[in-house]
Amino acid sequence: MINRLLKNFDIFAHSFQFNSSKQNQRKRTCFGGFLSLLITITTLIYFLYLNYQYFMNQFPPKFRSQSFVTNQDISISVHNELIAFRFTSFYGNVTLDDLEAQSNKTYLVFTAVLAEINSESMNFTQIDITQCSNPQLNGYRCLDLSKLPIKYLINSNINKILSYHNISIYRCQDTDYLKPTIPDNYVS
């Protein structure tokens, strides 16, 4: 009786096709049934163990971190065509410059600033935006960094010094300390 139950529980049995009249028969063994029962019980016990750990909040956390912060100064030298950008419309590959030239209207105003921050002060220097002169950057606007007194960007954690470039995009009618004027041919 137990022998027959174990044979019926055998999930590893495979079919033999020696004759055509009994093609659906499988060769079942007691050993296959025992292995099937053992695997099923082990899987169920492990599943219950994992559920117990999950519901009792006993999973050991895995923390993986990689620190990019260093105590050494990071300095990047800058040149005029280091930062380039172009604003493309949603309707095909028409750039903002092309659209403004066709309609003789100004849609957006770009401003660029170099920010220098240290532990005592914050300095902001306005940067001019020009058309890029490099043929590979045709149609892009570049930051004109030639007039700046600082020719590098720096991040120093020890001295608490940070410098960065910021490009802001304004609607024509908006004004603030970085964009105090409104263009004459703006689109409302």
The answer to whether position 27 is within a domain reads yes
Domain of residue 21: give its range: 2-55
Would you state the pLDDT for residue 174? 81
| Residue 80, domain member (yes or no) | yes
Same domain, 143 and 92: yes
Backbone angles phi, psi at 178, to 5 degrees: -85, -30
**Same domain, yes or no: 51 and 83:** no
Model confidence at 25: pLDDT above 60: no
Instruction: Write the pLDDT tens digit of every residue in 163-177.
Output: 888 888 888 778 787
Nearest CA to 106 out of 169, 188, 185 is that of: 185
**Residues 165 and 79 reside in one and the same domain:** yes
In angstroms, rounded to a whole number, what is the distance separating the alpha carbons of residues 26 and 36? 15
Q: What is the pLDDT of residues 29-39, one digit of tens each?
A: 777 778 888 88
Q: Is the pLDDT of residue 7 over 80?
A: no
Number of domains in the chain: 2
DSSP, residue by residue, 127-162: EEEEE--SGGGTT-EEEE-TT-S--EEEEETTTTEE
Q: Buried (b) or exposed (e) across 125-135, using 16+ Cβ within 10 A?
A: eebebeebeee
Length of the chain: 188
pLDDT tens string 80-90: 888 888 877 66
For residue 84, being part of any structural domain is answered with yes
Task: List pLDDT tens digits, range 78-123.
Answer: 888 888 888 776 666 777 777 777 888 887 888 888 888 888 888 8
